Structure 1
């Protein structure tokens, strides 16, 4: 249980840091960040594998670059479901997903 809470807080912190780097990526406070991290985790666990399965040929043809598009789509879906979290454009979602993953990776290594 502590691993889940640690991961949730790391992702929430990543959600709070990302708007400083990406224009068009808006978050209205800590509670929205925690809820967004929770929804993001659920979407990546339940929905992302289906997208990855059905877009596997595109991922092969693009040498894996299409995975970034899937991450951006999952982030747009998260923003749609979470009140207080919005993304203005697909490019903001695309680069936001990259920064979010990077910040989450760095924070995970710092807290281990």
Structure 2
């Protein structure tokens, strides 16, 4: 339980780094980052697998690159759902999702993968 809370807080901190590197993403504080990290986790666990299966032919034809488009769209959806998080345009969401994925992977390396 403590590891899950630590991972959530570190992912929110990683989300706070994204606006520093990508101008089209803005987060007003750590509270909205915590909520956004939670929603991103839920969307990635519940909706992303369904979207991957539904778009499997396109994903296979693009050699998996379409999964990056799905990540960007889910990042954009998160910004629409959370007050205090804004993304200006699809490409901002795309690059924000890509950077957040890298940072989240680093968090998993530090904390350890969930079982």
**TM-score when scaled to structure 1?**
0.94
Corresponding position of 2:81: 81
Identify unmatched segments of 5+ residues in structure 1.
none
Corresponding position of 2:107: 107
CA distance in 1: counterparts of 2:28 and 2:16, whole angstroms = 9
Corresponding position of 1:44: 44
CA distance in 1: counterparts of 2:4 and 2:82, whole angstroms = 20
Q: Does the alignment pair 1:12 with 2:24?
A: no
Larger mean Cα displacement after TM superposition, 101-110 or 48-57: 101-110
Contact 1:10-1:108 at 8 Å conserved across structures: no
Identify unmatched segments of 5+ residues in structure 2.
none
CA distance in 1: counterparts of 2:43 and 2:50, whole angstroms = 10
C-alpha offsets along residues 43-80 of structure 1, whole Å, 9 cap, x if unaligned?
A: 11111111111001110000000000000011011111
CA distance in 2: counterparts of 1:108 and 1:20, whole angstroms = 21
